[in-house]
Amino acid sequence: MKLLESGTELDGFTIEECIHSGGMAHIYHVHYSEGARDPGFPLAMKVPRMTAGDGAENIISFEVEHQIMQILTGSHVPRFVAAGDLENVPYLVMEYVPGQTLDHWLEPSERPPVKGLAFLGAAVAIAVHSLHQQNTCHLDLKPANVLIRQDGSAVLLDFGLSCNALYPDLLAEQLRKAVGSPAWIAPEQVVGVRGDPRSDIFAVGVMLYELATGELPFGSPRTTGGLRQRLWMDPPPPRKLKPDLPEWMQEVILRCLEPEAAKRYPSAAHLAFDLRHPDQVTVTERGRNVQGTGFGVHFKRWLKAAGMQYQPSPLPAHQIDEVPIVMVAVPYKDVTDATLYSLRQAVARSMGTRPGARLACVTVISGSQSGSSSDGSETSLQRKHIAALRQWAQPLDLPGQQTSYHVLESGDVAQALVNYAVGNEVSVIVVGAATHGLKMQRFLATVPIKVAMDAPCTVILVKQALPFEMLTQQAGAAKAALDPDLDVPF
């Protein structure tokens, strides 16, 4: 397709200037022609290059992007507007999102400091998670395909190589060739696996590595042999190239870049969590190492990789459901040992059935109490509460499952818990029902109810186990106390 002239009309859209001319497509600013409705946001039209000389994969990519854009929702993808017929003039019209792609921060003068890097990384991870929740794997994440809005949120672009598990994958083929951009694709993509959400986590790792060091971890290989290197090879540790990078950040980046998908973050929400809570990242040898991986380890992995081949992936949404972030609200006052015990039992049950889950233990203290320091460092009061949380969690004994501890300051306990759950993509909230044994019952009982009503996810209300005869007494007492006109929300 040759370049369209400014002012051309196409199916009710007027073409403006061409804003991008890539290998696969031209992108234009467009607007609805005279008299048509105003969509309320600016529009862009993507027209695939499809002349006789262009490969069939351009056409299939167009079909794939059309199929997937129609069903994606949410703020992390451009809104879909219209599509042209494949047999006439193929095009996609979508929301034009103003902002800058991650390429901007790769300029040597714009390279972000660690805090900025963590911020960008978390924004990308949240966007990727939202895609995975819609059963879609992007599979072609690279700086040019990630746009950061003015407000700091990320928008993902270009779904031409993506895969949605609810639709036939038009790019899949029996021979299982690698599809994607060589610098960023994950090892399993090299052997033709399409549809593992952890492939996108690998690509985010490559981008973080680039933003941190200015280098690509695996270069830009041009041969299959060069591509296959990442099946067994670790890249040079980022701190070897940039010694002032903190260990925790290297730990995060290299965990994303693990050759085996099972050793990476199990979901993008877990990755965002670490980027937002650097003090909670457990630094291992992976984060400290500045020498690089030895020959022996690489050789063993090389042998293993020689036998690596395609395996089908389960539905992305199911896969990330298996690795929830579980949050438990642990009260620090007016709470009996029995309640704390029951809470711990409930957490143990939730975590026990999900080996990849991570646990966030949260306590809320009122804002005025701590006199929190302006520089954001921990106050002694926060340290005291974190120590108490650790002590509470200690008997849980969750080998291999990440646990972190958080003290929130707020006058509104329920709102603070809900905000935390929303902000950290929490899948399950475990909270005490606080229905008995408390002096401040009338006041505190509203917290779990409010959490249950406002939470974006499953809420497990934990009641302290009592002998049956006591339960009947309590029920009788509760009945007598209930005002018959009271409208109870559940």
Q: Given the rule CB under 8 A, which residues bind another protein?
A: 56-57, 60, 63, 67, 86-87, 166-175, 177
Our CB check for another protein shows the closer of 315 and 466 to be 315
Helices (H), 70-171: 114-133
Our CB check for another protein shows the closer of 194 and 344 to be 194
Integer Cα distance of 251 and 345 in angstroms: 31
Our CB check for another protein shows the closer of 114 and 170 to be 170
CB of 70 to another protein, least distance (A): 8
Q: What are residue 409's DSSP bridge partners? A: 365
- Our separate counts of H helices and E strands in the chain read 18, 16
H/E element, 446: helix 446-454
CB of 52 to another protein, least distance (A): 17
Secondary-structure percent of the chain, ordered helix, strand, coil, rounded to 5: 40, 15, 45
Contacts of 368 (CB under 8 A, 6+ apart): 411
Our CB check for another protein shows the closer of 169 and 215 to be 169
From the centroid of its chain, how far is CA 207?
Answer: 14
Our CB check for another protein shows the closer of 71 and 465 to be 71
Our CB check for another protein shows the closer of 224 and 394 to be 224
**If you write DSSP's letter for every residue of 151-198 in order, what string do you get?**
TS-EEE---TT-EETTS--TT--TT----S-TTT--HHHHTT----HH
- Phi, psi torsion values for 487, nearest 5 degrees: -95, 100
Q: What are residue 362's DSSP bridge partners? A: 329, 406
CB of 179 to another protein, least distance (A): 8
Our CB check for another protein shows the closer of 177 and 288 to be 177
CB of 188 to another protein, least distance (A): 18
Our CB check for another protein shows the closer of 11 and 169 to be 169
Query: For residue 378, how many other CB atoms are within 10 A of its CB?
Result: 15
CB of 133 to another protein, least distance (A): 15
Q: What are residue 429's DSSP bridge partners? A: 327, 459
Our CB check for another protein shows the closer of 67 and 427 to be 67
Integer Cα distance of 431 and 462 in angstroms: 6
User: Do the beta carbons of residue 61 and residue 158 sit within 8 Å?
Assistant: no
CA angle 442, 446, 450 (to 5 degrees): 175
CA angle 51, 56, 62 (to 5 degrees): 85
User: Do the beta carbons of residue 127 and residue 154 sit within 8 Å?
Assistant: yes
CB of 468 to another protein, least distance (A): 36
CB of 172 to another protein, least distance (A): 5
Integer Cα distance of 14 and 28 in angstroms: 10
User: Do the beta carbons of residue 333 and residue 388 sit within 8 Å?
Assistant: no
CB of 417 to another protein, least distance (A): 34
CB of 67 to another protein, least distance (A): 6
Integer Cα distance of 265 and 283 in angstroms: 14
Our CB check for another protein shows the closer of 82 and 170 to be 170
CB of 73 to another protein, least distance (A): 15
CB of 165 to another protein, least distance (A): 8
Integer Cα distance of 439 and 455 in angstroms: 26
Our CB check for another protein shows the closer of 41 and 167 to be 167
User: Do the beta carbons of residue 44 and residue 30 sit within 8 Å?
Assistant: yes
